[in-house]
Amino acid sequence: MFEGIMIGLSSAFSLTNLMMVIGGCLIGTFIGMLPGLGPMSIISIMIPVAITIGDPSAALILLAGVYYGAIFGGSTSSILINAPGVASTVATSFDGYPLARQGKAGKALTVAAISSFCGGSIGAVLLMIFAPALATVALLFHSAEYFALMVVGLSAIAAFAGTGQVVKALLMTLLGLIMATVGEGALFNMPRFTMGIMDLQSGFGFITLAMAMFALPEALYLVLDPSRSKTEGGSNEIKDLRITRDEARAIAPVIGRQSIQGFLIGVLPGAGATIASFLGYAVERNIAPKEEQEQFGKGSVKGLAAPESANNAACTGSFVPLLTLGIPGSGTTAILLGALIALNVSPGPRLMIDEPQIFWAVIISMYVGNLVLLVLNLPLIPYIAKVLAVPRNYLIPFILFFTLMGAYIGQNNATELLILVGLGICATLLRFADYPLAPLLIGFILGSMLEDNFARAMQLYDGMGFLLDRPMTLALLVLAALLVLLPSYRARRARLRQVGVSDGD
Amino acid sequence: MALDRWIALVILLISLTYGYAAYFTMDASLPPFMRFNAIWPSTFPKVLSVLAAICALIILLGPQTGESGPKAGDIDHRRLGDYNIGQALGLLVLMVAYALLLRPAGFLISTVAFLTLGAVILGERKLQFLLPITALAAGSVWYLVQEVLGIFLSPWPIFFGVGG
């Protein structure tokens, strides 16, 4: 491990990679601050740039930096104008915005930045401990287990989608898997489901799909509803970034607890930063002494520190399944996985052995990224906050233009742009009807891997025999079925109880 | 019928068509030697189409999910007329036009036109600021993509003879 850290250090501290972290964090903060643009849109817009860089470590470091920066920017806009750009920073606005209203915006930003820094750093330490251990276990897995593990991951994502949403999330996952079968896969050397359209020969483009699922609907939402990008509330005067010793003492244990809890939640597929931040907030409110409990929601520093450290630790945690198993647990890590595949890197347990420099450079760059956010972005915030004043008449055409460019650069094909617009309209309709879109993208990205492993297991055992020969596979598949069925069963029971029917039927 | 059920119906039709192709038409073109394999190109799609059809049916026929009405801050699609639907449609048409014109008209002209018209659709009227900004943006993006990233983008209309 020590050797790995040294490799990572030397790689992460090369001039290019340092520039990547700093640039990524700045770009991420900049765009992430714009209300309505979440990390997923920003990362999908940045992917074409990352891919053309060519060097996988540098590209991944850039994207990870953008990711952190975007989360930090999201927290900033939650605190300053009560407009969380992402679900995972909604809990930040509970106490952050009241603080800003009291004229303590600077203090709130500092607390948020310190909590994020600690959450991210503690997360990175845990990642360093957990990931190699998990990778060693994962090396024992065969294609049958991989297939089963991916099914578990996909079911978990659907299962965590929320009440009444499980079937919808499942359907979206399946739709993603179906879209992944379009085109000529490496597996069979024959085009499938192209409907005679030449441009579908190579399948749907992953960047196109990512743009169509996230960036385009978000831009359309901004157009449809101008109040989403409204920047009211004149709390733009940010002064006095310092916090007192007492406040530091109050938030230290909160940060410690929530970093660990957030990390563990982040490791679970499908749970991620949003759940971690809400849970962190709720837990801290419940265990706080009575008189402090009343402060929550009115500008408590503890209530601000909890979701901030939890969501950053969870973001780091979500890298664990990505780097060790090659299975993304969230929309963002799915996009990162897609970028890695485009760069000819296959994440998974072999990554640590075959290309340790990538693995360790990413981890080290997480520390660097967190440090950059703390020492560079925080003092710059008063200036970066000016971006909130960019008129939307200029902003929206540029967002649309960058989504178009991203799809065009990826495929160098104008038909791709028509596919982008078509899929983007579909995605907006799906969003209207409350269908979650991240499962679709995750299904799409995992689709070919899932089928590959399924096919390999089928060929090895000449049929479905691997289900019985490998108890581990069977156990994982049963777990996947339970994950999906349990929430629907409980929802059904709750519904029956509501209409007054007994549980017995 | 609520929008989510209409969508479920559409997805059901898609998965049935997909399933039909997987079950009945795909295997016909399979070369004989591949028929001995345990897995065919249609195996996985067959499974997917059945699962997707089941899920779509559950949403289509299942009980109404508890919450109706939009969450705070979300868009209520039943009152689309209250939003700037015209602007949104205008921008979508503009994107399609951009896709069709990008090759024939070249990158610079179509991009400046796209950014300018996009802002105009959104209500911007100060063309004296708009045009220089969009021209500058189009120029610098072209420079970045062409020179820094090294991806060919034909800058001028096709009849200038340099188009690709």
pLDDT value, residue A35: 65
Q: Is residue A503 part of a domain?
A: no
Q: What is the dihedral of CA B138, B139, B141, B146, to 10 degrees?
A: 130
Q: Residue B146 pLDDT more than 90?
A: no
Phi and psi, residue A78, nearest 5°? -60, -45
The secondary element (H helix, E strand) that includes residue A321 is: helix A319-325
DSSP A184: E
Of B46 and A81, the one with more pLDDT: B46
pLDDT value, residue A234: 47
Amino acid in position A457: A
pLDDT value, residue A503: 39
- Cα–Cα dist A402/A407, whole Å: 9
pLDDT value, residue B163: 44
Domain layout of chain B by residue ranges: 3-68, 85-160
The verdict on a CB contact (< 8 Å) between B4 and A168 is yes
Instruction: List the single best residue of A220, A415, A423, A448 to mutate versus B (max B Cβ within 10 A).
Output: A220
pLDDT value, residue A461: 83
Our CA-based measurement puts residue B90 at a distance from the nearest CA of chain A, in whole angstroms, of 11
Instruction: Categorize the per-residue pLDDT at B161 as very low, low, confident or very high, splitting at 50, 70 and 90.
Output: low
Closest-CA residue to A145 (of A431, A450, A499, A483): A450
Q: With a cut of 70, which residues of chain A have pLDDT below it?
A: 1, 35-37, 83-87, 161-164, 186, 228-240, 270-271, 387-388, 410, 491, 495-505
Q: Is residue A239 part of a domain?
A: no
pLDDT value, residue B92: 93
Residue among B41, B73, B151 minimizing CB distance to A188: B41
Establish if A395 touches chain B: CB-CB under 8 angstroms: no
Establish if A164 touches chain B: CB-CB under 8 angstroms: yes
pLDDT digits (tens, 9 = 90+) for B117-128: 999 998 888 888
Q: Residue B154 pLDDT more than 80?
A: no
Here the tokens at position A55 are 């060097």
The verdict on a CB contact (< 8 Å) between B7 and A225 is no
pLDDT value, residue B113: 92
Is the distance from CB of B164 to CB of B154 less than 8 angstroms? yes
Assign B149 to helix, strand or coil: coil
Structural domain total, chain A: 1
Establish if A195 touches chain B: CB-CB under 8 angstroms: no
The verdict on a CB contact (< 8 Å) between B75 and A221 is yes
Contacts of residue A360, Cβ cutoff 8 Å, sequence gap at least 6: A4, A5, A7, A8, A9, A11, A12
Task: Calculate Rg over the CA atoms of chain B.
Answer: 25
Phi and psi, residue A410, nearest 5°? -60, -40
Largest alpha-carbon pair distance within chain B?
A: 70
pLDDT digits (tens, 9 = 90+) for A74-99: 888 778 777 666 667 778 888 888 88
pLDDT digits (tens, 9 = 90+) for A184-193: 776 777 778 8
Q: Is residue A228 part of a domain?
A: yes
pLDDT digits (tens, 9 = 90+) for B47-91: 999 999 999 998 888 776 545 555 555 677 777 777 888 889 999
Is the distance from CB of A149 to CB of A467 less than 8 angstroms? no
Instruction: List the single best residue of B5, B95, B102, B103 to mutate versus A (max A Cβ within 10 A).
Output: B95
pLDDT value, residue A424: 93
pLDDT value, residue B102: 86
Residue among B2, B37, B114 minimizing CB distance to A397: B114
Contacts of residue A493, Cβ cutoff 8 Å, sequence gap at least 6: A503
Q: Is residue A504 part of a domain?
A: no
Our CA-based measurement puts residue A100 at a distance from the nearest CA of chain B, in whole angstroms, of 21
Instruction: Categorize the per-residue pLDDT at B14 as very low, low, confident or very high, splitting at 50, 70 and 90.
Output: very high
pTM: 0.80
Contacts of residue A47, Cβ cutoff 8 Å, sequence gap at least 6: A63, A207, A210, A335, A338, A339, A342, A406, A410
Question: For chain B, give me the number of helices (H) and strands (E)?
Answer: 5, 0
